[in-house]
Structure 1
């Protein structure tokens, strides 16, 4: 009796207007899936490219860095630069990190999640004064200054501008400004550390003197 009642309820649901709508929806999905499958068989290259693009977009969306990660990266960069003396750290990296920290301390950093990437940009005022910008159009920054206000772009789990600015952060090019031009650059074939270490170790080797040479 319970099974007949269940079949009766299911039968009434299938015969109702909502049931017919769900059945037509499932039929539409099945037809669409069949069309996609047949299209993929006809054009496997395009199907593979589409699947690859969707997978890459999903991976990019899943690895968008957060605002906390930017704060952590900026603080780590400041700590790494703080371990160096002012004469050895890169001036460009030091100025960029100090600029980020000043904007952060004054509440002028803004974070925006753009689905596939994230942007950190500079606001002309702190977060507490945002209401004034809504009332007074003279406080709003002009649209052509938007590119200059962007401080970093987050993509694939990294903040790329900060990463680029911190490249060779422990090298101060101003230290070598007095050298000739040919001595300011090192080419890959000049970086032979193993050969330099071997020649350095040669200085500490004992010099052997043969008996014949000692008699002379």
Structure 2
């Protein structure tokens, strides 16, 4: 098995060196010299050289510091897969409607007040048009704005009266990560048990 791998590695190395040799020895025809075609070919050659140097330097650093490379690779993979599973506003509204349907099927005297009040608050915000989603690519936040997007009063459009960054965390009502809206899900645990 090892001999086959070594043979394949040598074959690929020889093939790559032959391609590299052919590309470096390739001459530009006289009719293309000084034209945009020559500039275009030189651009792509230089781009290939740059990528090759970046790849070899990455490989050398990965070989020298394998722990650092594995940590960075793991973090990168986590962010990549988290971004693929980042929930949308449609997912949030769908979950809200499903939880509301669950609450409707249970008599109000059996509702857990925290669950019932939270769903009613979110529905009110949605109906008023003040529910917003902020996506950071791999994580999302549902937050409450002061005004609907269509409102054009001075308070709504003045940049100095917009929500402050330091108090923004108070406006967040849910966090979406890895395909779930976590706060809504936690509030609906034992929604049919009035405590």
Q: Do the two structures share a fold, i.e. TM-score over 0.5?
A: yes
Q: Tell me, which stretches of 5 or more residues in structure 2 are unaligned?
A: 1-27
Find out whether 1:62 has 2:77 as its counterpart: no
CA distance in 2, matches of 1:86, 1:105: 22
Q: Structure 1 residues 66-75 or 46-55, which shifts more?
A: 46-55
Aligned pairs for 1:1-216 within 5 A? 8=29, 12=33, 16-130=38-152, 132=154, 133-135=156-158, 137=160, 140-173=162-195
> Alpha carbon RMSD of aligned pairs, Å?
2.5
Closer, same or farther in 2 for the Cα pair 1:111/1:136, shift >3 Å? closer
Deviations 1:182-213 (A, max 9, x none): xxxxxxxxxxxxxxxxxxxxxxxxxxxxxxxx
CA distance in 1, matches of 2:116, 2:40: 65
Deviations 1:105-130 (A, max 9, x none): 11111112111111111111222214
CA distance in 2, matches of 1:10, 1:99: 73
Q: Tell me, which stretches of 5 or more residues in structure 1 are unaligned?
A: 1-6, 174-216
Q: Which has the larger radius of gyration?
A: 1
- In the superposition, the TM-score normalised over structure 1's length comes to 0.69
Q: How many matched pairs?
A: 166
Closer, same or farther in 2 for the Cα pair 1:129/1:8, shift >3 Å? same
